Amino acid sequence: MMKSYIWLQTADGSIQQVEQEVAIFCPLICHEIHAGMGSSKTYPISLPARVNPVTLSLILDYCRFHQVPGRSNKERKSFDEKFIRMDTNRLCELTSAADSLQLKPLVDLTSRALARMIEGKTPEEIRETFHIPDDLTEEEKLEPLKNITDDPRIRLLNRLYARKRKELKEKEKLKNVEVEAEHVDDRSVDELLSFINGENGESKEVKTAKSKKKNKRRKDQQKNSNNTPVCAISNTSSTNTTTKESNGSVGHDDDDSSRVKTRCLPDINELLKLQDSEDDRFDDFDDCDIGDGIDPEIKEQIDREVEDFARRLNSDWPERVQELLSLGQERRPSLYTVNGNGCSAKFSNTTTRLEKHEK
């Protein structure tokens, strides 16, 4: 039987003739053929701009191999392995071209290959492999939260950092006046009540100047949150209601002593509170903290914490290898039916790990 051919045109204008049985492997081309295109040189199928003659020929090689029925999985796998051995940029082009022709198996194959090139590499190595410009400043790299996109959560995170700095500072202050620490709780309850009832700053004499100032700030925030729409993590109105509820019910967490206890990131309630006050106020924290001449030791600690994320991003490859190796030893599949006795894995205490059954 004679093979039927179809005509394909790439974006550069060149036209070529291809076996139909090979070309129909690409869903996009198949669709065009069914629409009556490509049967003559005068009506070629024009391919998307992302397909150039070089990638087209690669794609056709791929289709030519895989359209033959009866090949074993092993044969297909070994073809694929050899097929993807090419220059990284070519691989990127091929991925893009295959994607534009909706050739999913090839997109999967090349994406996996690209992922393998990134896996476990340092940023420098990845940049070198793919010729990615190193256009971030060192400062930006250490601070992965720059608010380019207008994402409220990134702003939120920046605020958390500011808040953390403040916490540390307050903790330091508290060390000096530990005797007074017990009063703080009472005050905070009052504060909370007044916050809920809206009678700011008038409740008790006990308040120190500091807490009054804070109260005032809170009042402003409250006012502010009434004016501006609440910027919530989720956009549903029900979430907003929840936000306000939790804001009230956990208000006493906000007092200085317990805030100091929060060593890591503040809990979600604190986060929710933060998002209610979408204004510049926390930037004040930033300013005053930086200018305040903090104890160098604390400053160091702050820096360490802030950079933690960045360090995590940058940690070394050898460390990873070690971890993976040790992981390999731990992760032996566990058989709970040992020697036919059918004994289950023993439930263990805090020191040992449990075993999991995989099926």
Partner 1 sequence: MPREQPKVPWQMEPEVDRISNLPGHIIDKILSLLTLRDAVRTSILSTKWRYKWVNLTSLVFDNQSVLVSSQDPTIIKNKMVKIVDHVLLLHNGLIHKFKLSHRDLQGVSDIDRWILFLSRGTVKEFILEIWKGQRYKLPSSLYLCDKLLHLELFNCLVKPPLGFSGFKILTSLDLQHITMDQDVFEDLIFRCPVLERLTLMNFEGFANLKIHAPKLTFFDIGGVFEDVVFENTFVLSTVSIGLYVNVGNDHELTLGTTSKLTRFFGSLPSIQRLEVQSFFLKFLAVDTVPRRLPNPCTELNYLSLRINFNDNDECLAALCILRSSPNLLELELLARPDEQPAPRSVKNLLEEDYHNCFFNQLRFVKIAGIFGSPRELNFINFLLANSPILERMTVKPASPDGGWELLKELLRFRRSSVHAEIIYLDP
Contact 159, 279 (CB under 8 A): no
Q: Among 31, 144, 245, 304, which residue sits at the site for partner 1 (rule: CB under 8 A)?
A: 144
Residues 85, 109: Cα–Cα separation, whole Å? 11
Decide if residue 139 touches partner 1 (CB under 8 A): no
Task: Point out which residues pair with 15 in neighbouring strands.
Answer: 9
Decide if residue 196 touches partner 1 (CB under 8 A): no
Window contacting partner 1 (CB under 8 A); options: 65-73, 111-119, 175-183, 248-256: 111-119
Window contacting partner 1 (CB under 8 A); options: 17-25, 172-180, 281-289, 347-355: 347-355
Nearer to partner 1, 252 or 320 (CB): 320
In the complex, minimum distance from the CB of residue 118 to partner 1, in angstroms, rounded to a whole number: 6
Which residues ranging from 72 to 101 are in contact with partner 1 (CB under 8 A)?
87-89, 92-93, 95-96, 99
CA distances from 58 to 97, 138, 247, 290, 347 (A): 10, 40, 59, 58, 55
> What are the helix (H) ranges across 84-120?
88-100, 104-118
Q: Among 45, 156, 162, 260, which residue sits at the site for partner 1 (rule: CB under 8 A)?
A: 156
Nearer to partner 1, 48 or 201 (CB): 48
Element (DSSP H or E) covering residue 16? strand 15-19
Which residues ranging from 243 to 302 are in contact with partner 1 (CB under 8 A)?
263-265, 267-268, 271
In the complex, minimum distance from the CB of residue 136 to partner 1, in angstroms, rounded to a whole number: 6
Nearer to partner 1, 213 or 263 (CB): 263
In the complex, minimum distance from the CB of residue 68 to partner 1, in angstroms, rounded to a whole number: 27
Tell me the number of residues near partner 1 by CB under 8 A.
83
CA distances from 109 to 70, 98, 120 (A): 20, 10, 19
Helix (H, G, I), strand (E, B) or coil at 23: helix
Tokens linked to 240: 């907003």
Task: Point out which residues pair with 16 in neighbouring strands.
Answer: 8
Q: Among 17, 208, 234, 241, which residue sits at the site for partner 1 (rule: CB under 8 A)?
A: 234
CB atoms within 10 A of CB 14: 12
Decide if residue 2 touches partner 1 (CB under 8 A): no
Residue 309 identity (one-letter amino acid): F
In the complex, minimum distance from the CB of residue 349 to partner 1, in angstroms, rounded to a whole number: 8
In the complex, minimum distance from the CB of residue 357 to partner 1, in angstroms, rounded to a whole number: 5
Nearer to partner 1, 43 or 336 (CB): 336
Which residues ranging from 158 to 177 are in contact with partner 1 (CB under 8 A)?
160
Residues 79, 76: Cα–Cα separation, whole Å? 5
Helix (H, G, I), strand (E, B) or coil at 351: coil
Q: Among 1, 35, 209, 327, which residue sits at the site for partner 1 (rule: CB under 8 A)?
A: 327
How many alpha carbons fall within 13 Å on the CB side of residue 135?
Answer: 3
In the complex, minimum distance from the CB of residue 334 to partner 1, in angstroms, rounded to a whole number: 11
Residues 313, 141: Cα–Cα separation, whole Å? 9
